[in-house]
């Protein structure tokens, strides 16, 4: 059996059995929200404690299925606490079991922060999550990579937070919500965020979220969770066209974006549609110099979870065809642990071709995040 050994923490990637996996969507939690206290200013620590703050998730409109922050029932560590709040239990339950080479962390529920109308509170909490993430996770396992948590309601403050922690060697991305606080993500009010991300070589990653404030506009939020999950894609579509036609990548040519948990079957349709309207109305958006589908392939990546699970061999080919239409280089594996929609890598992709699995499980993520190749015998994490 050949293995790769990380000198720092002796993490072992098994090279002879299962294909190594880089999981690009893992949500660690503090054991309790009091763990964040050391990282809050005295003002916010007292204020949030007095108000009995219980994290970000409880603020979203209630649905039974997400009452426990949507965690897998078995994800609570033996010693208690929230799902995915123990590094050891996470390793045992997921990382070691599925032969993870790296995990990209996105602290749980922080993708809801941008829905808060209170910029200052959201900014303080985002900042506390970053210091907690570095102390409790990144510094304890060199295979982990982190997200710079930001409150995007205030792009200038968000950029300052990216500058504060973005150069940490294990920070890989800026964590964003698919719902933008004001207007679409293509709006130039968000430029400071993109500028800071490029400055630190960070990927900008968008996670499924809810709209801000008290409104549930339009039908895409829905009354039921399967409805919400299905219709999420509508928000992704709208944001992708906002970003493309807003010319974000013309301005920030080194910017890379990753979209997780929003599906991908709709992508070929959106790419073709954008190209059609771009050709027709290039007069209105002359700053978009290349066909939008090309811009998508060069700048955007997509998480696989929730993986479309084909019923039959015939359907499986359709899923692969859809991914080929987008570009097989543009997908990375995401599990969404500890949420109950978790995709177990080798089971969710059991019937796909082996070469495809190598690409999806680690190769594309190696390219996107500049990680060492886990199959490289000289590579260390």
Partner 1 sequence: MERNVLCKKSEIPLGESKVFQVRRLSVVVVRKENEQFYAVRNFCPHQGAELGKGVLRGAARANDVKDVCYEKPGSFLYCPWHHWSFDVENGCSMHDPENTKIKTYDVKVENDEVVLYA
Q: How far is the CB of 262 from partner 1 (least distance, A)?
A: 25
Q: How many angstroms separate the CA atoms of 145 and 124, rounded?
A: 22
For residue 155, which of 74, 248, 278, 51 has the smallest C-alpha distance? 248
- 171: helix, coil or strand? strand
Q: Which is nearer to partner 1, 82 or 255 (CB)?
A: 255
Residue 219's φ and ψ, nearest 5 degrees, are -85, -5
Q: Which is nearer to partner 1, 81 or 247 (CB)?
A: 247
Task: Choose the stretch contacting partner 1; rule: CB under 8 A; options: 147-155, 159-167, 274-282, 321-329.
Answer: 274-282
Cβ count within 10 A of residue 353: 11
Q: How far is the CB of 235 from partner 1 (least distance, A)?
A: 23
For residue 34, which of 72, 81, 68, 69 has the smallest C-alpha distance? 81
What x-and-dash track marks residues 194-233 binding partner 1 by CB under 8 A? Answer: ----------------------------------------
CB of 351 within 8 A of CB of 311? no
For residue 20, which of 345, 349, 291, 351 has the smallest C-alpha distance? 345
Residue 4's φ and ψ, nearest 5 degrees, are -110, 130
Give yes or no for residue 192 binding partner 1 (CB under 8 A): no
Task: Choose the stretch contacting partner 1; rule: CB under 8 A; options: 224-232, 246-254, 296-304, 339-347.
Answer: 246-254
Q: How far is the CB of 248 from partner 1 (least distance, A)?
A: 8
CB of 192 within 8 A of CB of 277? no
CB of 145 within 8 A of CB of 137? no
Residues 6+ apart with CB under 8 A from 351: 310, 313, 316
Residues 6+ apart with CB under 8 A from 282: 288
What x-and-dash track marks residues 276-305 binding partner 1 by CB under 8 A? Answer: --xxxxxxx-xx---x--------------
Give yes or no for residue 367 binding partner 1 (CB under 8 A): no
Site for partner 1 in 247-266 (CB under 8 A): 247-248, 250-251
Q: How far is the CB of 170 from partner 1 (least distance, A)?
A: 32
DSSP state, residue 33:
G
In whole angstroms, how far apart are CA 374 and each of 48, 254, 301, 365, 381? Answer: 42, 25, 20, 11, 8
Q: Which is nearer to partner 1, 188 or 223 (CB)?
A: 188
Quick one: which of 77, 246, 327, 338 contacts partner 1 (CB under 8 A)? 246
Q: How many angstroms separate the CA atoms of 157 and 152, rounded?
A: 8
Total number of residues binding partner 1 (CB under 8 A)?
A: 16
Give yes or no for residue 188 binding partner 1 (CB under 8 A): yes
Q: How far is the CB of 178 from partner 1 (least distance, A)?
A: 22
Q: How far is the CB of 291 from partner 1 (least distance, A)?
A: 8
Q: Which is nearer to partner 1, 7 or 283 (CB)?
A: 283
Number of alpha carbons in the 13 Å side-chain half-sphere of residue 208: 28
Q: Which is nearer to partner 1, 298 or 309 (CB)?
A: 298
Q: Which is nearer to partner 1, 97 or 279 (CB)?
A: 279
Tokens 């009354």 -> residue = 223
Q: Which is nearer to partner 1, 224 or 272 (CB)?
A: 272
Q: Which is nearer to partner 1, 75 or 239 (CB)?
A: 239
Q: Which residues bind partner 1 (CB under 8 A)?
A: 188, 246-248, 250-251, 278-284, 286-287, 291
């Amino acid at each position: 059996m050949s293995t790769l050994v990380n000198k720092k923490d002796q993490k072992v990637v098994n090279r002879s059995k299962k294909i190594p996996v880089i999981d690009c969507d893992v949500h660690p939690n503090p054991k309790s929200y009091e763990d964040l206290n050391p990282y809050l200013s005295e003002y916010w620590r007292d204020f949030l404690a007095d108000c009995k703050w219980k994290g970000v998730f409880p603020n979203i409109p209630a649905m039974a299925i997400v009452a426990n922050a949507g965690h897998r029932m078995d994800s609570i560590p033996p010693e208690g606490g929230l799902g995915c709040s123990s590094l050891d239990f996470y390793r045992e339950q997921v990382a070691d079991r599925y032969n993870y080479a790296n995990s990209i962390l996105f602290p749980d529920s922080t993708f809801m922060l941008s829905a808060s109308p209170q910029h200052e509170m959201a900014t303080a909490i985002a900042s506390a999550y970053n210091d907690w993430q570095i102390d409790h996770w990144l510094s304890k396992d060199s295979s982990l990579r982190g997200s710079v948590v930001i409150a995007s309601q205030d792009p200038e403050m968000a950029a300052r937070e990216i500058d504060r922690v973005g150069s940490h060697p294990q920070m890989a991305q800026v964590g964003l919500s698919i719902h933008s606080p004001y207007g679409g993500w293509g709006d130039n009010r968000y430029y400071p965020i993109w500028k800071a991300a490029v400055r630190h070589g960070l990927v900008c990653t968008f996670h499924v979220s809810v709209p801000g404030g008290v409104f549930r506009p339009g039908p895409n939020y829905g009354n039921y969770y399967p409805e919400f999950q299905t219709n999420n894609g509508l928000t992704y579509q709208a944001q992708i066209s906002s970003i493309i036609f807003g010319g974000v990548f013309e301005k920030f040519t080194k910017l890379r974006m990753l979209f997780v948990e929003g599906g991908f079957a709709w992508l070929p349709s959106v790419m073709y549609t954008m190209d059609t309207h771009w050709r027709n109305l290039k007069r209105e958006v002359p700053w978009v110099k290349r066909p939008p589908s090309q811009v998508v392939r060069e700048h955007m990546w997509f998480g696989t979870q929730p993986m479309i699970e084909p019923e039959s061999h015939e359907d499986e080919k359709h899923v692969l065809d859809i991914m080929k239409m987008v570009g097989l280089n543009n997908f990375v594996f995401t599990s969404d642990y500890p949420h109950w929609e978790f995709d177990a890598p080798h089971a969710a992709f059991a019937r796909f071709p082996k070469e495809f699995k190598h690409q999806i499980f680690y190769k594309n993520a190696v390219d996107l995040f500049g990680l060492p190749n886990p199959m490289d015998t000289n590579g260390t994490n």
